[in-house]
Amino acid sequence: MSLLELYCHVDEFCQQFEPRWHQHQVADGTSRWRRRGHLSVSEILTIVIHFHQAHYRDFKAYYLRYVALHLRAEFPRLVSYHRFVELLPMVGVPLCAYLQACFGNCTGIAFIDSTALAVCHNRRIRQHKVFTGIAQRGKMSLG
């Protein structure tokens, strides 16, 4: 999925989600002045989601070396890295809702990962209490 397709998909979701989200938020009775960021919620979500599609190990390197240099034309009102990190908490709920909306319908077919799970080192088996009666020594079908 290209960056433009991703942004269009996220923006369509945000146009439907944000009014309902703000409608259900509960105010605490005090009025606070909230400085508005220069990036929209859709733009922040697009950058966060695109980070997981890019081949960067940490977000700071991705933002400073890729977004700030190569995507400035796509995001003309781009903020500094530190300001972007301050804006991230406000998109937690929309991000979870977007990912939930992207889930497909359950078909009844599921895949199970059969990777070995090391519970503890063999020297500490007698001390380990969490998987008492469940964990066993031995080989798996993988060898």
Q: pLDDT in tens for each of the 143 residues of the chain?
A: 899 999 999 999 999 999 888 888 777 666 666 666 689 999 999 999 999 999 899 999 999 999 999 999 999 999 999 999 999 998 999 999 999 999 888 888 877 777 777 777 777 777 777 777 776 676 555 54
pLDDT for 138 equals 65
Residue 83 lies in a domain: yes
Overall domain count for the chain:
1
Q: Is residue 62 part of a domain?
A: yes
Classify each residue of 14-28 as buried b or exposed e, where b means 16 or more C-beta atoms within 10 Å of its C-beta. beebeeeeeeeeeee
> Is 53 part of a structural domain of the chain?
yes
pLDDT score at 124:
76
Would you report the helix, strand and coil content of the chain in percent, each value rounded to 5? 50, 0, 50
121, part of any domain? no
Domain of 50? 3-24+35-102
The answer to the question of residue 52 being in a domain is yes
In a domain, 108, yes or no: no
Residue carrying the six token digits 């940490």: 58
In a domain, 124, yes or no: no
Are 67 and 75 in contact by the 8 Å Cβ rule? The answer is yes
pLDDT value of residue 110: 79
d(C-alpha 132, C-alpha 143), whole Å: 24
pLDDT value for 143: 46
> Is 46 a member of any domain?
yes
